[in-house]
Amino acid sequence: MIAASTTNGEPSLTAAGKFEAAPAAAAQDEIIEFLADPATHGGAPVEHIETHGAHVFLAGDDAYKLKKAVRLPFLDYSTVARREEACRAELAVNTNSSDIYRGVRPIIRQADGGLALADDASAVRASDWVVWMRRFDREAGLDRMVDAGEVDLPLIHELADVIAAMHADAPRRSDFGGVADMAQVIVDMQGAVAQIAPEAAADWAMQASARLRANATLVEQRRSDGFVRRLHGDLHLGNIVALQTDEGLRPTPFDAIEFSERIATVDTLYCLAFSAYDLAIRGRYDLANGLVSRYLAMTGDYEGLALWPLFLSLRAAVRAMAAAYSGDEEEALLRFALASRFLAPTPPRLIAFGGLSGSGKTTIARAVAPDPRFGGVGAIHLSSDEFRKRMFGAAPEEKLPEKAYAPAVSARVHHRLFAAAEQALAAGASVVVDATFTDVRARTMLDETAQDAKARLDAFWLSAPVMVRTARIEQRCGDASDISPALAARQKAPFPLLGWRIVATQWGGDAALHEVRCALEEGFVTGESEGA
């Protein structure tokens, strides 16, 4: 461990990654004492939280964030003017969090010499500035909710929709987010982790740099095509809160990066990778996979998956660096090990689940897809039901009219479904597809997709008696399928099913899932593909 030092009165980063506040920070002691005083807040108890760049004071329904008087390598809050600028910038970049951000308020010196919180417009000369926010239950932060087992797949799907909408509205930029910026991130991460694991850091940097070189053209092409945007910049789970609305819980990102355009201007998938990584490090690959699969279904950005291993690895390395800076070497090594694993090559595989409605296709597909041995946070899950809804501009949970299920429409759905599968496989990702596959043309397209991608194909036909299937359909709620029990009862299984493994699901999902996983194990052990 190495202590921090200062140079010319300013904080500087040392080998341990710690910082000391500049002497100017001492001038904030009175302001910190003022904001921590219940009398400032009408007698309400005050909770004081300190981060690397701010003091946060929680009192009653309010939260006030005071920027620390520090200058770090990546931010400068060293003067009152800069702190005011940073407060206003934070308000500007968190427009998607209007339910949380209330404004900016000055702290002024009164005639009697005391301090007071004033309205923004009333400040003539402020002693300092704070971001004024709505206080929310800290237990509603997604990091804490996930740790407590209180986050389910519907909430994660809602988060994916929120992130996709944020990305769609974000301004496109081309000044950052290219190969040079990503190469610098690799250098920075290696330098930080090298303090505790030099050989591992060097090996990771070599692999990450090789990935970047191999995909340099794609990185720059995506920047030209508008995938690099001014985004949140720090979208880990601790910066997302589940707010209660009239429609239920809504994941709401906040605390977007305001101090660095370079850090916040990134590829859209790199932004998504932070949330996905944060779920994976907690062992919730099911939620991480659901987040990514839903986001991609919203955006159609399957070609970008060629960069996904690198993006995930960089996010893991960033968190390893933060742990190293805080002195938690064990946590840093754990996170860095995951950063290395994300870069490990995995041959793409195509897994299909077919069956009549109610046979359990989506349930088992969602259980199989998150296996990290597929690479990243698992295989990308493609559902024909969701593709049909998207084709009609509807959310997966919305109902479609009967004409949306005409044979000609289904043919178009299959074309889009397998086009996405081809893009994902070509990008090196594994894919899990679920559809009825009662149409021989869909099964033919499945075979051709695997052959073209030189990917191993495992096809499973899920079978259950009609009474079991219709009972399951009657119990569905918020599902992407619109099938009725009566229509499901009239469905007929195709015959013969050459090359498909029949799996009975009438006894429940556990036994069927075990059989499927045992059948898939060979591909994991051998790592083989059709082209190998």
Answer with the one of 91, 113, 135 that is the final residue of a domain.
Answer: 135
Q: Are strands 349-355 and 46-50 parallel, antiparallel or unpaired?
A: unpaired
Q: Are 459 and 355 in contact (CB under 8 A)?
A: no
- Verify that 416 and 446 share a domain, yes or no: yes
> Following DSSP, what letter does each residue of 140-177 receive, concatenated?
GBHHHHHHTT---HHHHHHHHHHHHHHHHHSPB--SSS
Place of tokens 């991608």: 453
Name the band, by pLDDT with cuts 50, 70 and 90, for residue 399: confident
The tokens for 507 are 């006894």
Does residue 531 belong to any structural domain of this protein?
no
Segment 520-532 mean pLDDT? 63
The pTM (predicted TM-score) of the whole model is: 0.90
- Verify that 292 and 150 share a domain, yes or no: yes
Answer with the one of 343, 375, 406 that is the final residue of a domain.
Answer: 343
- Return the closest-CA partner of residue 430 out of 356, 367, 380: 380
- Return the closest-CA partner of residue 42 out of 62, 28, 56: 62
- Verify that 386 and 414 share a domain, yes or no: yes
Place of tokens 């998956």: 305
Q: What is the pLDDT of residue 1?
A: 23
Q: pLDDT, tens digit, for every residue of 217-255?
A: 999 999 999 999 999 999 999 999 999 888 889 999 999
- Return the closest-CA partner of residue 118 out of 65, 128, 79: 128
What is the rounded distance in angstroms from the CA atom of residue 14 to the CA atom of residue 300?
A: 43
Does residue 258 belong to any structural domain of this protein?
yes
Residue 375, domain CATH: 3.40.50.300
- Verify that 252 and 327 share a domain, yes or no: yes
pLDDT above 90: residue 30:
yes
Give residue 422's domain range.
349-526
Place of tokens 């429940």: 508
Does residue 239 belong to any structural domain of this protein?
yes
Q: Are 130 and 87 in contact (CB under 8 A)?
A: yes
Name the band, by pLDDT with cuts 50, 70 and 90, for residue 339: very high
Answer with the one of 135, 155, 190 that is the final residue of a domain.
Answer: 135
Q: What is the pLDDT of residue 321?
A: 85
In which element (H, E) is residue 211 found?
helix 198-214
* High-pLDDT (> 70) share of the chain, %: 91
